[in-house]
Structure 1
Amino acid sequence: MKKSLSILTLVLFVLTGTFKLNGQTVTKTSHKTNQTSTFNSAEKIPFNPEVTKGVLSNGLTYYIKNNGKPENKVELRLVVKAGSILEDQDQLGLAHFMEHMNFNGTKNFKKNELVDYLQSIGVKFGAHLNAYTSFDETVYMLPIPSDDPEKLEKGFQILEDWAHNALLTEKDIDEERGVVLEEYRLGQGADERMMQNYLPKVMYGSKYAERLPIGTKDNLENFTYESLRRYYKDWYRPDLMAVIAVGDIDVATLEAKIKSHFGKIPKATNPRNRDIYYVPNHDETFIAIEKDKEAPFSQVRVLFKDKDNSKEDTTLEEFRHSITESLFSQMLNNRLDELRNSENPPFVYGYSFHGGTWADTKDAYQSFAMTSPDGQLKALKTLLEENERVRKFGFGEAEFNRAKKDILARFEKSFKDKDKTESNRLLGEYIRNFLVNEPMPGIEWEFNFYKAQLPTITLEEVNQLISSYIKDTNRVIVLTGPDKEDLKTVTEQEVLDLLASVKNTDLKPYEDKEVASSLITTLLPEGTIVKEETNTTLNTTTLTLSNGATVTYKKTDFKNDEILFDGFSFGGTSLYSDQDYKATVFANNGLTEAGVNGFDKVELGKMLSGKIVNVRPRLSGLTESISGSCSPKDLEELFQLTYLYFTALNKDQSAFNSYINKQKAFIGNMLASPQFYFQDQYSQFVYGANPRYTGFPNTEKLENADYDLAYKKYQERFANAGDFHFYFVGNIDDQKLKSFAKKYLANLPSTNTKEDYKTFNFRPLSGSHTKIVEKGTDPKSSVRIVYQGETDYNQKDEYYLNSLAEILTIKLIEKLREEEGGVYGVGARGNLNKIPYGWYNFTISFPCGPENVDKLKDAAIAEVEQIIKNGPTDEDLAKIKEAQLLERKEDLKENRFWLNTLKNADYEGHDVNKLLEFETSVNNLTKVDIQKTAKKFLTKGYILGIHNPEKQ
């Protein structure tokens, strides 16, 4: 089964007939489902009966599905089965350049008109409107309101223009070169340099090693107009295209739109052959050891490439085989996760899977690990040994059963929410079905198939997979990491010796310890609910518990299989002395690595097999908090874990050592990265005068972290549950939640006191300052313009400042990207905080070439000054209003939005009912409000942070 580059990918009877629709010849797909626990292994995987798939007479394929989430919105995609792999030698980078040009002038939308129009209907450039180019495909993404016929028609017109109406004028092409070159510049760095060296070995003998989608700087600067036009003519044609429409509108309307817009595109005459490119096999083991002085991380990759070219599953037997592969990956990755949680972990994290490479035509069994700078050989040895352990001894029955439970639980969750899944989450499998013929039977069929077949899969079947994965041919080992004088470089011979020795290593079978069946061993007597209040406006219920704790919950039907949870009380690390804070700040995140109630992290994972639940306690500057999520059926486990994190957090020096060792490995060379280095230096400049400032973690700071004190302080902070407020949002059963609240929350320890956070005298830097940092060899700079300072807080100013940032982002894109061609991305962000004190922050940031720093900085400031002087335009104000109203409409149907809103109202002392006044606030927003806000907050100087490369 073909799988993408991920740890686990569980992919989702075609009978054809031809008839006429609106004068067009259409090949339609009808559907047949035949699901039993036993099956004809040669039977074809069915096609999702809820999806309409057709092929127009000109060869264009389409997919349509009615989907009601979110309401009044349709997601459109144009998929072109053409990417950088099809470029001629004079076209390097032009598949991607063509993607850009479709936003810069088409028959019906001249340059800038397309983005301008979409912004006017609330579609944001980058956030909503976007596209990507890969080796084998180019995909355009367009969300459109579906409740307005005119907007829907315009959306399809845009999609049609992308397909065959690009203008490609010489002026527009030349103006876009600067933007694409800036995107090229962004990709430069240690990772790119190392990849250029190892990719020819990974993709040995194939065109994939020579066709990175970004192309080459020389060609982007110098390609001829005809080269780009030829690419568009050759590959943007209906037989290589698919149109996908999924959203809240009837199928007939969408089908008619596709017919009318795409049926008239002429069928290609004498089309150029769309070749498929393969990756040749090789007997040798290729080893790539790549180093770079600016590499922040060390990594190890092992690839055992399949001998045969990849093919998609088509039969039920092949689909069943994919389940065995998923079980294999699940179990092996569980073992690797145990190793990373050992006291001296061999890697920061590691995983293995069988799936896709950079080439659609070649799959591989792959293992990956992130390591310490000097730990690459150790990590490689561990990955190889764990594969060898499976080869020699196989997996055990207990871990096999846990893997089955976990996989089925994930599918059950998807199945339960099948009618409440957002449209943009459904599109991926349609795209893959068109590009590589990945099966898409639909989640209902898949869930039933998994339920029926998982019990029939034997452990022997899974254990046999390793023999087909591991081989001495088609093998590639890739090591990437820092180039440092004090770091011994791994040699190719050392890798070869290790490969040879692993087979003779004296390995023992994996030891799977028995685990308890219950999380709770002792439980305090349950408490009571002493008061219950309802907010009929927001449909929330608030419970006051006998220990003083408060629970607010909101029942929703946004998802069938989701409950989200959060809770906090004030205090946090602000109540620590300066000395205690510094001693514990780098230890706090490692406290939960020990597990709870005598169960370590690994045991907890095993005990929770087949359950969808997680809980995370946290200590922050102002609060102690706890959050999580679960499936409704696992709500009691969520309450149990919450109870245990309050009352029974383990103290385990070995587990803490594991955390510290992983942290040291992770950050070992991070500051070699110019970008991380700039962040660190800028942070010191702005916040360094704070007596509690700790800066970037390093080995010494991590080794000096005081675990004993951190654990003691954690117990103190979670000793009083009486001043906690807990929040639950989702598919809640009232009686169960109330019962669990009494059983697991109302009995938590309480001191009957309400604490608050402590406010300190320190304030970050504000006013006019400049910090220039020179680091790195690549010709890339970044600019940060920050207006910030103390202020009196009010909610209106918070909304105005956010809106000002949205308007300024529109102007900066127009000026710095479209007019100057000097940036790939640019944006502004505004924040106004109430606690611990009133503080505003307004940041403009963008990357660019060193030669353009001053010019673009001045241009950005000029846009700020323009708004201060004249306010925004009517058009720009209308754009951000429309976007805000559309986003809020969708937010009101999201559990996460409600959870955050309910919590933040209490956190900041707001009237939560005012969220229903948002539409009025948007409608009342004026240009004068924005102008006054700009005058109030953006006229007191700014901090200018600039990152430049080192002078050569």
Structure 2
Amino acid sequence: MYISYLIKYLFTMKKILYSISFALLMTLPGYSQALKKVPKGKESIKSMPIPTDPSVKIGKLSNGITYYIKQNPKPANKVELRLAINAGSILEDDDQLGVAHFMEHMNFNGTKNFKKNELIDYLQSIGVKFGAHLNAYTGFDQTVYILPIPSDDDKKLEKGFQIIEDWAHGALLNGKDIDEERGVVLEEYRSRRGADSRMLEKYLPKVMHGSKYAKRLPIGTKESIETFKHESIRRFHKDWYRPDLMAVIAVGDVDVATLEQKIKAHFERIPAVKNPRKRKVSTLKNHKETFIAIEADKEAAFSRVQLMYKDYDEAKADVTINDYRNSLVKSLFSQMLNNRLSELRESEKPPFVYGFSYHGGTWARGKNAYQSTAGTSADGQLNGLKALLNENERVKRYGFQAGELDRAKKNVIARIEKAFKDKDKRESRRIVGQYVNNFLEQEAIPGISWEYKAHMGLLPSIKLEEVNSIIKNFLHDDNRVVVITGPKKVVTESQVTQALKEVKTKELKPYEDKVVATSLITKAPKSGTIISTSKNDKLGTVTLVLSNGAKITYKKTDFKNDEILFDAFSFGGTSLYSDSDLKATTFANGALSQAGVNGYSKTDLSKMMSGKIARVTPYIGTYSEGFRGSASPKNLEDMFQMVHLYFTSLNKDEKAFKSFVNKQKSFLGNLLASPNFFFQKEMGDFMNAGNPRYSGFPSPEAYDKADYNLAYKKYQERFADAGDFNFYFVGNIDEKKLAEYAMKYIAGLPNKNSKENYKVHNFRPKSGNHTKTIQKGKAPKSNVRITYQGKAKYNKKEALAFSILGDVVAIKLTEKLREQEGGVYSSRTRGRISKMPYGWFNFSISYPCAPENVEKLKNISVNHVASVIKDGPTEEDVMKAKKGMISDYRDDLKKNRFWLRTIKNIDYQKNEASDPSDFENRINALTKKDIQNVAKKYLTNGYILGVLNPEK
């Protein structure tokens, strides 16, 4: 439930990088022309305010509560409710560290109308899952509660509004409940402790110089969580949980009038606070120095370099058309610079594993900054820093080129067109966040239709010179911070200072923008024909058999207007490799597609695909090889062309392979210093002991031994016969075009009548009773993994019952381990019976906890499993699990991803075509006895216990 301080930061970064904030819009169709016609002395169109989407009802109650309402039909019979509090950890007094987040916990732990545990219990009974659906988060400046509620029954909807009303002002905050919750919050604190958090605490005072942000991490401190007085959290609640700092947001499949009536009925009665405490804004002080923070922790899995040039002025919301235009200019700038960094990343000796730059938010709500970040090898931090400095300086000296801007604009247009076409197909949960941000940060909400027109009007008016000029304002020698983190200190402050100085006079050449072809296909492919067409009316699918034997199955849907998803497979995969060939190629296979196709490099392809939304990724798995991809309907032909080229014209490029290996080695170099990664690696080795085909953890040494030549040869073998491939398409399909492209690009591919199947080898992982204890890490935390697994004869009814068994046990273990014992923050339980490649069951329980609680919590877990075997689950828990599964299933029925998986698995898993239509009936037909029976059948032959403990 605690959202780390990273969430807002990373969300802002992503929003800026991809320039789709859906926050701004312009109405005038000929905007760029209109700009030129504005008479001097009159109000410029640029200064016009950004309007608000008229489909959103915004109001304010007499007590100060703001509300937002939008009727939205997707998904059907569901409303997304949010309660946003404009208060977070930055408002805590010195005796309240962590209580903003603790307060969030307490709202789930006893309110006026829902006593302790009653809230979660009720929501589970109507299909709302704790964590997966119901949740909340606390940041520096805000707290937000999340509640999706069924709207097919007015009683459920009414109850949903009662819940968020209780969250707003009905917390009981009983002393006993507060003390019992300390253990849960301490476990959350413990679960987040590690190298990154330790280093963050050291460098944050420099990044957030002169502000409270450096001292108010939302999780608080261990000492404060253990010892804060009851009065401290009650005072925080009284001071900050008040109407003038609250917004209620309701988006979903209910008319606006009904939602407004419920908001008024529940929230108007909350009294306004007289003489409220002033909500102060915490600001960052500007500084003349360049702060340099170099932090190391031997458990750090990754090395990072960050350059931050903080703005001098406080951040302001975009409120005018000109503000929007400026943000679009910045987005184009970031995209072009990041394209250069990506190209550098693909070089034979890349200076970083990844690199990106943007202008946007920091940890502080009121401060933006220009930031460049790179992930490097443990020894490559200085090289990574210099690469970022060089590329920023190169842009400052020479700017971008016209071709780069043209491609960036095409990409922006492609994305905004996709969003615009799907404007009526957006799920409520993807919309509601805009209104939360409007309340908390005044982010404009004009609506996607308006934004689309703004893009079309504004982009032509943005010139290269304008984009080139902005970096001069971004880069400055003061108000600057450099942060370097990793497993060891390999860079000194003097080296950083020298690098910052030297780049100003370093000899740099202008970027060379190489011209690339405009067509993927350079040689007309051999066409084929469709020899048969059949329909499945129950599934709504059509199957085409092509002249070379390939089979195409597609389902036309209206779930999204601008989406087609794609998958394809042929049985075989690496299961047909010899043991020696498998080990020689395992870590080279990932490099194959990095070389590009048809003589075009990965960078060339990226340039060629500017303005197009289509992607295809080939893969060679254990039991099959194939493709995954997606496309906008207008770019469907491009997707078919890429498939054709991956069959016929995959490049072989040693430099691309070396680039891939170097990046992988940099990424993996210190991964096993992380206790969690080390635990996964050791458990994998333990479970697969004696398996001649187990490759183990991908170490740098393994990449040095990877055989690229053999991997390429094997790829050609696996994709030599298109005739035994099955292709699947789901989405807004033009059936005539799909048939045309299938004949042109697929039907003429070679058919060797191989009709291969995968090979099932003899090895099986461990089952029965085993224990593996691993010691790693200095933080006082453990991880527990309990696994029941073994051979099974697949049965459809049993498989579904076993899955529900996992959910049933999860519900009870949340009660026992978290609520009763306060021993875990979260636990995960999952049950699955698979039939491919062989019958196998797996039932796992896992959670982090304190080392001293390992044995106790493990016993509670396995004893509960034993009680389900002996007495069966409760009818109530079975009902909750069924409701949650059915709720997810009903949402899935309107998603292309679900149907792609479903129609593929009719062939891949040999599933029955009737499964989707009778799924609910099969769930509802299961009884408590059915679930007890599968527990008896599969969970009585012991379990494998894996424990990660800290080093002694």
* TM-score, normalising length: structure 1: 0.97
Q: Verify: 1:428 aligned to 2:433, yes or no.
A: yes
Alignment of 1:278-427 (within 5 A): 278-427=283-432
Query: Alpha-carbon deviation of 1:314?
Result: 0.8
In 2, are the aligned partners of 1:673 and 1:776 still within 8 Å (CA)? yes
Partner of 1:132: 137
Match of 1:71, SS state, is coil
Partner of 1:116: 121
The separation in 2 between residues aligned to 1:220 and 1:905, in whole angstroms, is 52
In 2, are the aligned partners of 1:13 and 1:44 still within 8 Å (CA)? no
Alignment of 1:475-494 (within 5 A): 475-483=480-488, 489-494=490-495
The separation in 2 between residues aligned to 1:422 and 1:879, in whole angstroms, is 24
Partner of 1:592: 593
Partner of 2:672: 671
Query: Alpha-carbon deviation of 1:790?
Result: 1.0
In 1, are the aligned partners of 2:19 and 2:328 still within 8 Å (CA)? no
Match of 2:46, SS state, is coil
The separation in 2 between residues aligned to 1:914 and 1:441, in whole angstroms, is 43
Q: Give the counterpart of 1:184 among 184, 189, 194.
A: 189
In 1, are the aligned partners of 2:23 and 2:434 still within 8 Å (CA)? no
Greater CA drift, 578-587 or 794-803: 794-803
Partner AA of 2:648 in structure 1: T
Partner of 2:721: 720
Which digits, 9 at most, give the CA deviation of each residue in 1:132-159, with x for residues without a partner? Answer: 0000000000000111100000000000
Match of 2:12, SS state, is coil
In 2, are the aligned partners of 1:11 and 1:439 still within 8 Å (CA)? no
In 2, are the aligned partners of 1:872 and 1:927 still within 8 Å (CA)? yes
Identity across aligned pairs (percent)? Answer: 61
Match of 2:95, SS state, is helix
Query: Alpha-carbon deviation of 1:524?
Result: 2.9
Which digits, 9 at most, give the CA deviation of each residue in 1:705-741, with x for residues without a partner? Answer: 0000000000000001111000000000110000000
Match of 1:41, SS state, is helix
Query: Alpha-carbon deviation of 1:212?
Result: 0.1
Q: Verify: 1:5 aligned to 2:34, yes or no.
A: no
In 1, are the aligned partners of 2:26 and 2:50 still within 8 Å (CA)? no
The separation in 2 between residues aligned to 1:558 and 1:178, in whole angstroms, is 44
In 1, are the aligned partners of 2:20 and 2:416 still within 8 Å (CA)? no
Match of 2:915, SS state, is helix
Partner AA of 1:151 in structure 2: K
In 2, are the aligned partners of 1:597 and 1:648 still within 8 Å (CA)? yes
Alignment of 1:775-924 (within 5 A): 775-924=776-925
The separation in 2 between residues aligned to 1:840 and 1:923, in whole angstroms, is 22
The separation in 2 between residues aligned to 1:307 and 1:568, in whole angstroms, is 55
Q: Give the counterpart of 1:236 among 230, 238, 241.
A: 241
Match of 1:859, SS state, is helix
Which digits, 9 at most, give the CA deviation of each residue in 1:866-910, with x for residues without a partner? Answer: 110111111111111111221111111100000001111211111
Partner of 1:521: 522
Partner of 1:20: none
In 1, are the aligned partners of 2:22 and 2:447 still within 8 Å (CA)? yes
In 2, are the aligned partners of 1:402 and 1:606 still within 8 Å (CA)? yes
In 1, are the aligned partners of 2:307 and 2:480 still within 8 Å (CA)? yes
Match of 2:914, SS state, is helix
Partner of 1:196: 201
The separation in 1 between residues aligned to 2:635 and 2:949, in whole angstroms, is 51
Partner of 1:227: 232
Alignment of 1:628-643 (within 5 A): 628-643=629-644
The separation in 2 between residues aligned to 1:223 and 1:686, in whole angstroms, is 44
The separation in 2 between residues aligned to 1:593 and 1:138, in whole angstroms, is 42
Partner of 1:564: 565
The separation in 2 between residues aligned to 1:834 and 1:370, in whole angstroms, is 40
Query: Alpha-carbon deviation of 1:525?
Result: 1.9
Query: Alpha-carbon deviation of 1:33?
Result: 5.0
In 2, are the aligned partners of 1:617 and 1:626 still within 8 Å (CA)? yes
The separation in 2 between residues aligned to 1:371 and 1:573, in whole angstroms, is 31
Partner AA of 2:481 in structure 1: V
Query: Alpha-carbon deviation of 1:32?
Result: 10
Partner of 1:766: 767
In 1, are the aligned partners of 2:571 and 2:623 still within 8 Å (CA)? yes
Alignment of 1:76-155 (within 5 A): 76-155=81-160
Instruction: Say if 1:807 and 1:191 are closer, same or farther in 2 by CA, change over 3 A.
Output: same
The separation in 2 between residues aligned to 1:532 and 1:833, in whole angstroms, is 32
The separation in 2 between residues aligned to 1:186 and 1:540, in whole angstroms, is 46
Greater CA drift, 706-715 or 521-530: 521-530
Query: Alpha-carbon deviation of 1:753?
Result: 2.2
In 2, are the aligned partners of 1:13 and 1:46 still within 8 Å (CA)? no
In 2, are the aligned partners of 1:816 and 1:822 still within 8 Å (CA)? yes
Unaligned runs of 5+ in 1: 15-30
Instruction: Say if 1:366 and 1:158 are closer, same or farther in 2 by CA, change over 3 A.
Output: same
Match of 2:534, SS state, is strand
Match of 2:209, SS state, is coil
Alignment of 1:592-631 (within 5 A): 592-631=593-632
In 1, are the aligned partners of 2:199 and 2:296 still within 8 Å (CA)? yes
Instruction: Say if 1:843 and 1:877 are closer, same or farther in 2 by CA, change over 3 A.
Output: same
The separation in 1 between residues aligned to 2:57 and 2:182, in whole angstroms, is 40
Instruction: Say if 1:549 and 1:295 are closer, same or farther in 2 by CA, change over 3 A.
Output: same
The separation in 2 between residues aligned to 1:427 and 1:323, in whole angstroms, is 23
Query: Alpha-carbon deviation of 1:523?
Result: 3.1
Match of 1:194, SS state, is helix
Which digits, 9 at most, give the CA deviation of each residue in 1:180-226, with x for residues without a partner? Answer: 00000011110000000000000011100000000000010001000
Partner of 2:750: 749
Match of 1:920, SS state, is helix
Partner AA of 1:103 in structure 2: F
Match of 1:425, SS state, is helix
The separation in 2 between residues aligned to 1:665 and 1:522, in whole angstroms, is 39
Unaligned runs of 5+ in 2: 1-7, 36-44
Match of 1:616, SS state, is strand
The separation in 1 between residues aligned to 2:144 and 2:705, in whole angstroms, is 50
Query: Alpha-carbon deviation of 1:335?
Result: 0.3
The separation in 2 between residues aligned to 1:554 and 1:265, in whole angstroms, is 51
Partner of 1:17: none
Partner AA of 2:663 in structure 1: K
Partner of 1:504: 505
Q: Verify: 1:161 aligned to 2:166, yes or no.
A: yes
Query: Alpha-carbon deviation of 1:34?
Result: 4.9
Partner of 1:25: none
CA RMSD after TM alignment: 1.3
Query: Alpha-carbon deviation of 1:448?
Result: 0.5
Partner of 1:27: none
Greater CA drift, 415-424 or 488-497: 488-497
Partner AA of 2:12 in structure 1: S
Query: Alpha-carbon deviation of 1:914?
Result: 2.1
Query: Alpha-carbon deviation of 1:625?
Result: 1.2
Which digits, 9 at most, give the CA deviation of each residue in 1:597-650, with x for residues without a partner? Answer: 000000000000000110000001000010100000000000000000011000
Match of 1:626, SS state, is strand
The separation in 2 between residues aligned to 1:584 and 1:794, in whole angstroms, is 35
In 1, are the aligned partners of 2:767 and 2:943 still within 8 Å (CA)? yes
The separation in 1 between residues aligned to 2:60 and 2:806, in whole angstroms, is 44
Partner of 2:266: 261
Which digits, 9 at most, give the CA deviation of each residue in 1:716-771, with x for residues without a partner? Answer: 00001111000000000110000000001111111012100011111101100000
In 2, are the aligned partners of 1:90 and 1:227 still within 8 Å (CA)? yes
Aligned residues: 931
Alignment of 1:525-540 (within 5 A): 525-540=526-541
